[in-house]
Amino acid sequence: TVFPVLLMFIGGTGASVGRRFKQLVKQRGLERYVRILVFDTDHSEKGPRGRYPGFSDREFVHLPMDRVTDILKAPERHQLIAERFDLFDAENRNMLSRIAGRGLRQAGQNRQLGAMAYYANLHVVQKAIRDAAVDLNRRWGQLAQELQQDIEVAVQDRFYIATCGSLAGGTGSSILMDLSVEAHSVVAVNRVPEINAFLTLPNVYESVLQGKKDELQRVYGNAYATIQEIDALMTSDWAQ
């Protein structure tokens, strides 16, 4: 039984796992059968870390924060995003502008900024997922033909998608659900998508956040909000 596999790594935590997984895929000779996509607001996560490889242009999907700054300056030009993130509320918009104005090159621990970066770059995200799905479907079609010449192989309509990231950060936690739904909608055109998530809990970061009470509270708050979103989606009509 064969089916395509798309692995989506989100945020800094996801990128860290993705590097290790990319190395493992290469070592086991599985590069033909798996596609990797990494989504992050921090462009530096594209590069290698120690003995672990970095990501190619087609693997790394950058969600630059400068587009978020543009939206905050003129929310009336981005009606749907402004309504979703309550940017017509001056107090909320000013608060986000102050945070973004600190020269952030990543979402940090702010879920609103991470999600806004996702939607500000949605066309880039959609193209990356669409290209990966087309590539995988082509690869598996060829593989099925090759294998069926020698052995009996069941080629399923199933398309496996795994997402990996953190429940606690600004990028990973903020775009997890939207990214999963987007990937599902792209894949469902031709195959039956199956999505699973592998996520770190906030207690993983307690040791590095000792003495940083505000940051520790934010990561637990982010995790709680993300779990609520997962529950809302999985109990909705969409999940049925």
- Backbone phi, then psi, for 212, in 5-degree steps? -115, 75
pLDDT at 103: 67
pLDDT of residue 227: 92
**How much is the pLDDT for 149?**
65
> Of 15, 102, 108, nearest to 60 (Cα)?
15
Report how far residue 234's alpha carbon sits from residue 239's, in angstroms, rounded to the nearest whole number: 5
Question: For residues 53 and 87, is the Cβ–Cβ distance under 8 A?
Answer: no
Give CA–CA dist 57/80, Å, rounded. 29
pTM score of the predicted model: 0.90
* Structure confidence at residue 2 (pLDDT): 67
Q: Residue 238's pLDDT is what? A: 72
Any bridge partners for residue 197, and if so which? Answer: 163
Place of tokens 């003129």: 74
C-alpha distances (whole Å) from 94 to each of 65, 88, 166, 197 are: 16, 10, 27, 34
| Per-position pLDDT tens, the chain of length 240 | 667 899 999 999 999 999 999 999 999 988 888 999 999 999 999 999 999 999 999 999 999 988 898 999 999 999 999 999 999 999 999 999 888 877 667 777 888 889 999 999 999 999 999 999 999 988 877 776 776 666 665 666 789 999 999 998 888 889 999 999 999 999 988 888 999 999 999 998 888 888 888 888 989 999 999 999 899 988 887 766
CA–CA dist 195, 59 (Å, integer): 19
